[in-house]
Amino acid sequence: MRTRRTTLAATVAVATLALAACGGGDEGEETAAEPSVAEAPEFEAGTTMAELAEQGSIRVGTKFDQPGFGLENLSGDVEGFDVEIAEIIAGGLGIEPEQIEFVESPSAVREEVLEGGEVDMVVATYTINDKRKERVSFAGPYYVAGQQIMVASDNTAITGPESLRENADAKVCSVTGSTPSENIRQYLADPGQLVLFDEYSQCADALGNGQVDAVTTDNVILLGFVAESDGQFKLVGEQFTEEPYGIGIPKGDVAFCEFINETLAANEEAYAQAWESTAGQVEGAETPTLPEPAPCS
């Protein structure tokens, strides 16, 4: 296991296990068309961009255990939407994808690796919130996820978060210390309804063999399980939270933040392609349009 007891590992732990499950060899061939790499871009001296462009390489913190967003495959390469996003940004700096060093950054250490200068940015299903903004700055958001509920297809009792209270025997599974596990608490009749594991794939297994009645986390992750389940699972109810994923950068680097936002906006096509070749391969996952960036601070 890689990242346990971590905030967002939780949020999006096992997006599309589908990708994983189909297994074997076909993952590698589906990578997006290489994003364009700018030829010797010019930056104002002293900015982060100038430094990185000069250096010709960048260190990016990402998850290694999140199918669809950042999953280390058997040969040690990381694949997923977050990885593609990092490549788009690096391209804007004139950095080739091969020059990106991905550093495994589970949820709990994301602020730390930025503060400690171990990475230049973090793209790791990183939900923007005020608490985190005290320690780091965010560019983006580049994607807005939302928490939802997944149940077995033959389950008619659970229709959304509200019905968990009425079905006080129902067990709902999430990941220890995750934001979704905290969000769902208010909907429960009894805290004993919440079953916690280290990874969402374990929750999906538990749902598959009837040990729990529902799994809750971000919709994109759940869609992955639904797609993989051969009709065994379904999503119910509306998304009941909003989780804007941002790109973490050192606190106060406004110029870098603006640069990232501009780069993403200028590469909408690559953005859509990045989605379709990774998290978007799951049936029912709509290709998002790039969300309006939040003001940089």
Partner 1 sequence: MSPTSVLYDAQGPRARRRTRIATAVALLALAGLAFVVVRRLAAQGEFSMEKWGPLIDPSNEAFEPVWQLLAEGVVNTLKAAAVAMTLSVVLGTLIAVARLSLGRAGRIPLIGLVELFRGLPVVVLVYFGARVLDDVGVPLDQLPGGQTFWGLVIGLTAYNMVIFAEVVRAGVASLPRGQREAALATGLTNGQAMRLVLLPQAFRVMLPAIISQLVVVLKDTSLITFVANYDELLSQGESIRRNLDNPIQTFVVIALMYIAINYALGRLAQYLERRQPRTAGRAGATVDEDSRVPVGGGA
Partner 2 sequence: MDAVTDNLALFVEGYLTSLRIILVALVGSLALGLVIAMCRVSPVPPLQKFGTFWVTTFRNTPLSVVLFACAFGLPELGINRTFFFFGVLGLVLYTSAFVCEAIRAGINSVPAGQAEAARSIGLNFTQGLRFVVLPQALRTVVPPLGSVVIAMMKNSAVVGAFGVGGDLWSTGATLTSARGYETLPVFVGVAIGYLCITLPAGALLQVIERRVAIAR
Residue nearer to partner 2 on the CB measure, 93 or 136:
136
DSSP-derived letter for residue 193 is: G
Q: Rounded distance, CA 148 to CA 129, Å?
A: 19
Residue 196 touches partner 1, criterion: CB under 8 A: no
* Cis peptide upstream of residue 288 (ω within 30 degrees of 0): no
- Give the contacts of 5 (CB within 8 A, at least 6 positions apart): 108, 176, 177, 198
Which of 49, 64, 143, 147 is in the footprint of partner 1 by CB under 8 A? 64
- Give the contacts of 212 (CB within 8 A, at least 6 positions apart): 171, 172, 173, 195, 203, 206
Residue nearer to partner 1 on the CB measure, 205 or 258:
205
Minimum CB–partner distance for residue 17 and partner 1 (Å): 6
Beta bridge partners of 59: 101
In the list partner 1, partner 2, none, the entry touching 110 (Cβ below 5 to 8 angstroms by class) is none
In the list partner 1, partner 2, none, the entry touching 131 (Cβ below 5 to 8 angstroms by class) is partner 2
Segment lying near partner 1 (by CB under 8 A), choices 47-55, 71-79, 182-190, 254-262: 71-79
β-strands 233-236, 147-152: how paired? antiparallel
Residue 25 touches partner 1, criterion: CB under 8 A: yes
In the list partner 2, partner 1, none, the entry touching 191 (Cβ below 5 to 8 angstroms by class) is partner 2
Q: Residues touching partner 2: how many (CB under 8 A)? A: 28
End-to-end CA distance of the chain: 35
DSSP-derived letter for residue 235 is: E
Residue 117 touches partner 1, criterion: CB under 8 A: no
Classify burial at 29, counting beta carbons within 10 Å of its beta carbon; exposed 0-12, middle 13-18, buried 19 or more. Answer: exposed
Residue 6 touches partner 2, criterion: CB under 8 A: yes
Minimum CB–partner distance for residue 73 and partner 1 (Å): 6
Minimum CB–partner distance for residue 20 and partner 1 (Å): 5
Residue 261 touches partner 1, criterion: CB under 8 A: no
Task: Give the residue from 107, 102, 150 showing the smallest Cα distance to 129.
Answer: 107
Q: Rounded distance, CA 278 to CA 7, Å?
A: 23
Residue 63 touches partner 2, criterion: CB under 8 A: no
Which of 108, 235, 272, 294 is in the footprint of partner 2 by CB under 8 A? 108
User: Contact residues for partner 2 (CB under 8 A)?
Assistant: 4-7, 10, 107-108, 131, 173, 176-179, 181-182, 191-192, 194-198, 202, 205-206, 209-211
